[in-house]
Amino acid sequence: MKFVIRHEIRGRVRVHLYQKEMSIRQADLLQYYLCSLPGVTGAKVYDRTGDAVVLFDGDREGILEGIQKFTYENERLREIVPKDSGRALNRKYKEKLIQRVVVRTFTKTFLPVPVRAAYTVFHGARYFIKGLRRLLKGRLEVEVLDATAIAVSILRRDYDTAGSVMFLLGVGELLEEWTHKKSVGDLARSMSLNINKVWQNVDGARSLCLSPASGRETW
């Protein structure tokens, strides 16, 4: 693979790969490969920019030569690298968070007061409904307090405060959802053995078997 060194200090090198765009899967393959090189202590791949940072305490020339030999068509590498690394999940929720910040900034800065008031009341409706449902069930929970805070601000015509409360609640919900999915994904990956070959003992005879995921027959 062709690359150019962008920055280098002792024990650390940043390279840029000559390819138009890098998919999430390709970034995972490259990062796993870099971490497996002798002398490499850590690696980080940035799929958006096509850059890779490598930390090492081994032979510099050997590591650069290893990067040059890398190819995405390495079948063995494709088999052992998990298809779901969590990188796609992190990007998805990062983009959602940025979108919320942009929408909040736009509505607070550019929308006229009457339009902003209507927008705030419209989006506050779901918090009112959630709080009312808890009250009807006889539960005084967080949703009731959230709905009360938003309703009081709107009744006082303090739409900025109501909007800020809903924005913070939305960010909190988004982070909670991301944390839950990331924790479940990390746990699943840590419990996955990613083993393609096992020894099977049948009547005292040992035979090498490959998992169905490898797409090969039993030996």
**Range with the poorest average pLDDT among 72-76, 121-125, 215-219:** 215-219
> What 3-state DSSP class applies to 73?
coil
Q: What is the pLDDT at residue 198?
A: 61
pLDDT above 90 covers a percentage of the chain that reads: 66
> What 3-state DSSP class applies to 205?
strand
> What 3-state DSSP class applies to 195?
coil
CA of residue 81 relative to chain centroid, distance = 17
* Dihedral over alpha carbons 117, 119, 125, 126 (to 10 degrees): -140
| CA–CA gap between residue 42 and residue 56 (Å, rounded) | 7
Determine the average pLDDT of the residues in 147-173.
94
> What 3-state DSSP class applies to 151?
helix
| CA–CA gap between residue 16 and residue 4 (Å, rounded) | 5
Alpha helix positions (H), 37-86: 60-69, 75-80
The two three-digit tokens of residue 204, written as one number: 């005292």
- For each of the domains in the chain, give its residue range(s) and CATH number, in order of start: 3-81 (3.30.70.100), 88-190 (no CATH)
Tens digits of residue pLDDT in 85-97: 788 888 899 999 9
Tens digits of residue pLDDT in 44-81: 999 999 999 999 998 899 999 999 999 999 888 888 88
- Tell me, what amino acid is at 19? Q
- Closest C-alpha among 158, 123, 122, 130 to residue 146: 130
